[in-house]
């Protein structure tokens, strides 16, 4: 048996996550087992979407968080990592400047990726291996700043599209109606061309909604149950959501707009259920890192200078 450790850093609009995964090679079998997941509730999207840049205070918090993640990778003997930033850093005018600062202060390389790259990373999570081969699936990855939609046909990535519809943008009422219209038209064109489409949901919000609905593990979340939970949450205050449902403060406010996105998407493709496999961008990063490692390609190590 051979044990390897890889890390993925997902710098989103609502939070930053460090996933450390054990990759176990055993008699030709490769097993991926989560070692730890650390979440930093740093909301870069609020400033990036409203002001167009990330302020000094959040910039410094980002540096501190990346230093902490570096130390965690070192003590866990991580041999390779990849750090990806999405919508907030894409929109921020000083995003590239912050990337340079992080490199200078921590020696960690951050990539600001676009929606197409994000879709490819999601596909690299081998989501197709878990699906029925003859069905069409729409993978919906909802973040604070954007929604990435990836169409899988016969287990292969067929189409992908990124929309500037995210939970923080919705919370700030900064999503243009045209963006909703574009999503609706795109989904209509997908159903017209490919027929029936099932939905797979990804992201912390749909994972939490799945649990709140009381869905049995392995079973899909029905649209009816999602509507009921969304209505229940929308009728109470953020403070009441924290107390009654044990939600973190940075989850309690965005979970309602998140439910809106999934409900709209499911209506537009006429999907009665949403499958929630609890995988995402970070899982795809880990798998692609391991694949590169096995091919002998260079991978980033936190100890490299």
CATH number of the domain that residue 254 is part of? 3.30.420.150
Provide the 10 A C-beta neighbour count for residue 248.
Answer: 15
Number of separate domains in the chain: 2
Residue 304 is assigned to a structural domain of this protein: no
38 and 69 Cβ atoms separated by less than 8 Å? yes
Whether residue 6 sits in one domain with residue 35: yes
Give yes or no: residues 133 and 204 share one domain: yes
Q: In terms of domains, do 95 and 153 share one?
A: no
| 3-state SS, residue 198 | strand
pLDDT of residue 125: 67
- The per-residue pLDDT for range 96-151, each reduced to its tens digit, is 999 999 999 999 999 998 877 877 777 666 666 666 778 899 989 898 999 999 89
Residues 275 and 287 in one domain: no
Q: What pLDDT was estimated at residue 205?
A: 93
Positive or negative CA dihedral for 157, 140, 61, 91?
positive
User: Based on the domain organization, do 135 and 243 belong to the same domain?
Assistant: yes
More confident residue, 37 or 126: 37
Q: What is the pLDDT of residues 214-242, one digit of tens each?
A: 988 879 999 999 999 999 999 999 999 99
User: Considering the domain boundaries, does residue 301 fall inside one?
Assistant: no
Pair (8, 32) in one structural domain? yes
223 and 253 co-located in one domain:
yes
pTM: predicted TM-score of the whole model, two decimal places: 0.83
- CATH of residue 56: 3.30.420.40
Which domain does 137 fall in, by range? 126-279
């Amino acid at each position: 048996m051979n044990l390897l450790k890889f890390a993925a850093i997902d710098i989103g609009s609502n939070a930053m996550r460090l996933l450390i995964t054990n990759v176990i090679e055993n008699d030709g079998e490769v097993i991926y087992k989560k070692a730890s997941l650390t979440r930093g509730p740093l909301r870069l999207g609020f400033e990036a979407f409203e002001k167009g840049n990330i302020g000094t205070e959040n910039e410094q918090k980002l540096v501190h968080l990346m230093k902490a993640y570096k130390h965690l990778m070192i003590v866990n003997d991580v041999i390779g990592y990849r750090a990806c930033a999405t919508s907030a850093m894409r929109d921020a005018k000083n995003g590239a400047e912050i990337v340079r600062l992080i490199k200078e202060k921590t020696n960690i390389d951050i990539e600001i990726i676009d929606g197409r790259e994000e879709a490819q990373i999601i596909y690299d999570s081998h989501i197709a291996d878990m699906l029925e081969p003859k069905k069409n699936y729409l993978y919906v990855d909802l973040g604070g700043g954007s929604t990435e939609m990836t169409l899988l046909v016969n287990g292969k990535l067929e189409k992908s599209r990124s929309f500037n519809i995210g939970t923080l943008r919705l919370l700030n009422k900064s999503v243009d109606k045209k963006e909703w219209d574009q999503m609706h038209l795109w989904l209509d064109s997908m159903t017209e061309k490919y027929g029936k489409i099932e939905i797979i949901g990804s992201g912390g919000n749909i994972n939490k909604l799945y649990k709140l609905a009381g869905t049995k593990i392995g079973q899909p979340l029905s649209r009816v149950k999602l509507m009921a939970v969304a209505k229940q949450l929308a009728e109470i205050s953020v403070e009441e959501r924290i107390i009654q449902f044990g939600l973190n403060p940075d989850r309690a406010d965005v979970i309602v707009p998140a439910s809106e996105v999934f409900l709209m998407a499911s209506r537009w493709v006429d999907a009665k259920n949403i499958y929630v496999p609890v995988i995402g961008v970070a899982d795809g990063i880990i798998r692609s890192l391991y694949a590169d490692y096995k091919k002998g390609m260079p991978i980033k190590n936190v100890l490299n200078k």
